[in-house]
Structure formats: structure tokens, C-alpha cells
């Protein structure tokens, strides 16, 4: 009996194809293409850095004033809206219950600015003009 060393059942030469050493793995791909890997890694790091920097260092919004537009009112945080409501109450009339009155002032500004935006004038009308219905 003789031992055979040919593992090809067809009897000819071994068919070309990936051998056990040429498996498709991430490590093998990185080893075969180091420049492409470095460029890809640099692009991913740059994208993550830009995302983090724009999120963390976003400019602080300015406080709202009478000249702020209704669009700025809509983009303001609830804390900024409440602060403007208190400013409005202090400048244009004092009331006994300022906290409850601030909520109603915020609601009225929201209604008037919504009305201005329906008319297509939210960018042009100031908060004060919206409260006075000067649109």
C-alpha cells in the first residue's frame, strides 16, 4: 500500500483559491493594506472629533430681548423663554403672582408667534410686535 499525498479528489493539481493562510479577516486586511487602513482610521477619528467638538462647544444662545424674532423664540430653551417672560413682566407691568403670570406670558407669546409663523412672518416680527399684534 502506498500513501497518497494528493488531497485533490479529481487527481490533478490543486485548484487555485484561498488557502488556510489567506483567510478573510480584519487583521489580514489591515496587514495587506496598511496605507488604506491608516487613511481610513484618520478619517474616522477626524469625523468623531468634529462631531464631538461641534456638540460640546456649541455657541451659547444669547438671551432673548424685545427685538428677538419669533423664530428665535421658537428656537429658545424653556429656561430662556421663562427668563424673557419675567423680563417682560418687569418692564411692562408688575403683577402679584409673577411665576403664574410668567407661564401665561409664555403661552401668549407662543400663540402670537405661532400666528405670525402661519402668516409667514416669524423671521420678521419681533416678540414684542407679536404680543402687540403688529403684523
Q: What pLDDT does residue 80 have?
A: 87
Q: Please report the sign of the dihedral spanned by the C-alpha atoms of residue 38, residue 42, residue 43, residue 48.
A: positive
Overall average pLDDT of the 70-88 stretch: 87
User: What is the rounded CA–CA span in Å between residue 13 and residue 5?
Assistant: 12
Question: Which pLDDT belongs to residue 60?
Answer: 57
- pLDDT confidence bin for 99, thresholds 50/70/90: low
The tens digit of pLDDT for each residue in 1-39 reads 555 555 555 555 555 555 555 678 888 888 899 999 999
* Burial group, residue 82, by CB count within 10 angstroms (0-12, 13-18, 19+): middle
Across 129-133, average pLDDT = 84
In percent, how much of the chain has pLDDT > 90?
14
**121 near 112, Cβ under 8 Å?**
no
Q: How confident is the model at residue 42 (pLDDT cuts 50, 70, 90)?
A: very high
Q: How many CB atoms lie within 10 A of CB 14?
A: 10
DSSP single-letter state for residue 103: H
pLDDT of residue 37: 94
Amino acid at each position: 500500500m502506498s500513501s497518497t499525498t494528493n488531497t485533490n479528489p479529481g487527481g490533478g493539481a490543486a485548484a487555485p483559491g484561498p488557502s488556510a493562510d489567506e483567510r478573510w479577516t480584519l487583521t489580514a486586511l489591515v496587514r495587506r493594506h496598511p496605507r488604506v487602513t491608516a487613511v481610513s482610521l484618520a478619517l474616522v477619528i477626524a469625523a468623531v472629533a468634529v462631531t464631538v467638538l461641534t456638540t460640546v462647544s456649541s455657541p451659547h444662545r444669547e438671551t432673548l430681548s424685545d427685538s428677538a424674532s419669533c423664530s428665535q423664540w421658537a428656537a429658545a430653551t424653556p429656561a430662556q423663554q421663562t427668563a424673557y417672560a419675567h423680563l417682560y413682566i418687569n418692564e411692562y407691568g408688575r403683577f402679584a403672582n409673577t411665576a403664574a403670570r410668567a407661564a401665561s406670558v409664555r403661552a401668549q407669546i407662543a400663540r402670537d408667534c405661532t400666528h405670525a409663523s402661519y402668516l409667514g412672518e416669524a423671521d420678521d416680527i419681533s416678540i414684542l410686535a407679536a404680543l402687540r399684534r403688529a403684523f
